[in-house]
Amino acid sequence: MEFETRRSIAFIGSECYPFVKTGGLGDVMYALPKALAEMNCDVKVILPRYHCIPSKYQEKMVYRGSFNMDLCADGRSFYVGIMEYVWDGVVYDFIDNDEFFSYGNPYTNLVDDIPKFCYFSKAALAALNYMNWVPDIIHCHDWQASLIPVMLRTQFANTALWDSKTVLTIHNLRFQGVYNIPTLKYWTNLPDDVFNIDVFKTGYEDANMLKAGLAYADIITTVSETYAGEIQTPFYGDGLDEHIRHHSGKLRGIVNGIDVEQWDPANDPKLSTPYDISNVLTQKRGNKKALQEELGLEVSDDKFVIGLISRLTNQKGLDLVNEILPGLIDGNTQVVVLGTGDAVYEESFRNFENWFKGSVCSCIMYDEGRAHRIYAGADALLVPSLFEPCGLTQLIAMRYGTVPIVRETGGLKDTVQPYNMFTNDGNGFTFDRYEAGLLYDAINRAKTIYFTDRWQWDEMVQRDMAKDVSWKASAEKYRDLYMELKPNY
Ligand code: ADP
Ligand code: GLC
């Protein structure tokens, strides 16, 4: 009998639930390593030890060692501490340095974040060497960790880490880590020849950290198949479409899942009335009532409650929502918004709440507990994004029997099958072009089924809860990819 060799993977990124999370990257950095560990992979997650990590976790970290590391072009060196925390089969190593990580939530602005993540990327590799741990795969996430493939093949070329292969995952191409070349040269001390047009250089005199990582990574992945295609076009490519087309031979799309224990309506301590697929049709009502009470909305089971849980940026299609929201408020509909972000959207949602008291509630805040209660209490969840690499909120919604209404882009297209009234099939309501009228129409189609064909609606709720949105299938794809990069000999 042939035994499968155990693969070892270092996951390196800038956020990870429950320590620090601003969006879906934090969820993925938690759930995918956990799923891989359950599949007999040996996984370490390497993160910055931000000051904003709650003290209940800080207190449990154990000191693993420290050293000084050269970083800058003028020879300036910095302290690197390693603090460790082991949980659920995954080892978390936090890179400790107060100069870089004592401020921010966790991000601040590019002026500070560029040096911060130059330091972090090099420190993560140096920490692997220090711990004498040469993983088969170094799996880097987004621009904050994208210098790693470049540093590995230049500054770390004569170390044991040379044998490791790199995977770079794009979670969101909008953020690339672009700054002027002299600053990047100073903070990385990378050789001049990588600051050319094929690696770092962009525009006249800027350096693009993500672009460089994409050039040097052994494999590039992104978080859905549709987005993998989209980013090769000018509209979605954010200036890198040509570069990505050039490297498309090593690009794969693997759709995200969610952690079905973290998101489990049957076992969710944040809910007043837990439920599963067998009793959702009655028990979801209890959650709707509790949500309406919590938010000061008119308490009534007859209202169609639409949730929106999102970073408030133009990526999320909020211009469309702003255009149509007044038209939705017809006495039968309530809208609940949970999010923070750009002032213009925070302001517009606050105004809607004032104008439509009792029907609209805008929670301009970040609140995990409230997010769970909206997923459970709403009838539908809106995700009308301009672009969406994968999107997790529609997956969580389905797991909670809440019907998604989404634009057919990126991972939304790959995970929500449109409702078909003739075959009574599908998981949600979708629209294609980025137009307010089409979003309005999709919501009205949902409302019509909800109010006039409730049994069809209820069947869709149950189909959604039965859908497999776990990491299982996709974690297997990642593992196969790691095996392909580092086969059994
Ligand atoms: P993105 O990563 O682009 O922000 P995703 O859909 O991948 O979008 O992931 C968003 C994650 O952040 C989900 O887990 C969602 O529940 C959570 N989230 C977003 N905004 C808030 C908020 N204001 N409060 C609590 N959770 C939020
Ligand atoms: C990004 C994307 C989102 C994706 C998440 C996790 O923040 O905007 O679509 O789900 O990363 O991969």
d(C-alpha 454, C-alpha 315), whole Å = 32
**Atom of ligand 1 lying closest to residue 21 CA:** 12
Least distant ligand from the CA of 263: 1
259 CA to middle of ligand 2, Å? Answer: 15
pTM score of the predicted model: 0.97
316 in a structural domain: yes
Q: Are residues 344 and 441 in the same domain?
A: yes
Measure Cα distances from 308 to 59, 390, 449 in Å. 35, 16, 20
Q: How far apart are CA 446 and CA 404, in angstroms?
A: 9
Q: Whose CA is nearest to atom 9 of ligand 1?
A: 24
Q: How far is the CA of 24 from the centre of ligand 2 (A)?
A: 5
Residue 3 lies in a domain: no
Do residues 244 and 107 share a domain?
A: yes
| Residue 162 located in a structural domain | yes
- The neighbouring-strand residues paired with 168 are 140, 220
Tell me, what amino acid is at 300? S
**pLDDT the model gives residue 204:** 87
Same domain, 383 and 419: yes
Beta bridge partners of 165: 137
Same domain, 360 and 428: yes
Q: Are residues 287 and 402 in the same domain?
A: yes
| Omega before residue 106 within 30° of 0, cis | yes
Provide residues with CB under 6 Å of ligand 1: 23-25, 27, 309-311, 338-340, 366-368, 371, 390-393
Quick check: is 457 in a domain? yes
Q: How far is the CA of 258 from the centre of ligand 2 (A)?
A: 12
Structural domain includes residue 336: yes
Q: Are residues 251 and 140 in the same domain?
A: yes
Do 308 and 195 fall within a single domain? no
Report pLDDT for 2: 46
Residue 2 lies in a domain: no
Indicate whether 172 belongs to any domain.
Answer: yes
Asked if residue 450 and residue 331 are part of one domain, the reply reads yes
Our count of domains for the chain comes to 2
Distance spanning both ends of the chain, measured CA to CA: 15
Task: Give nearest CA residue, ligand 1 atom 19.
Answer: 310
Are 141 and 217 within one domain?
yes
Range of the domain at 99: 8-257+472-485
Q: What is the spatial distance between Cα 179 and Cα 269, in angstroms, rounded to a whole number?
A: 44
CA of residue 309 to ligand 1 center, whole Å: 6
Residue identified by tokens 């997790």 is 392
The answer to whether position 38 is within a domain reads: yes
Q: Is 24 touching ligand 2 by the criterion CB < 6 Å?
A: yes
- Same domain for 240 and 336, yes or no, is no
On whether both 240 and 360 belong to a single domain, the answer is no
Query: Cα dihedral angle (149, 150, 152, 155), rounded to 10 degrees?
Result: -170
Name the residue of 17, 21, 28, 172 to mutate for ligand 2: max ligand atoms within 8 A of Cβ: 172
The per-residue pLDDT string of the chain (489 residues; one tens digit each, 9 = 90 and over) reads 445 678 999 999 999 999 999 999 999 999 999 999 999 999 999 999 999 999 999 999 999 999 999 999 999 999 999 999 999 889 999 999 999 999 989 999 999 999 999 999 999 999 999 999 999 999 999 999 999 999 999 999 999 999 999 999 999 999 999 999 999 999 999 999 999 999 999 988 899 999 999 999 999 999 999 999 999 999 999 999 999 999 999 999 999 999 999 999 999 999 999 999 999 999 999 999 999 999 999 999 999 999 999 999 999 999 999 999 999 999 999 999 999 999 999 999 999 999 999 999 999 999 999 999 999 999 999 999 999 999 999 999 999 999 999 999 999 999 999 999 999 999 999 999 999 999 999 999 999 999 999 999 999 999 999 999 999 999 999 999 999 999 975
CATH number, domain of 191, equals 3.40.50.2000
How far, rounded to the nearest angstrom, does the alpha carbon of residue 249 sit from its chain's CA centroid?
24
Tokens describing residue 155: 């500054």
Residue 253 shares a structural domain with residue 302: no
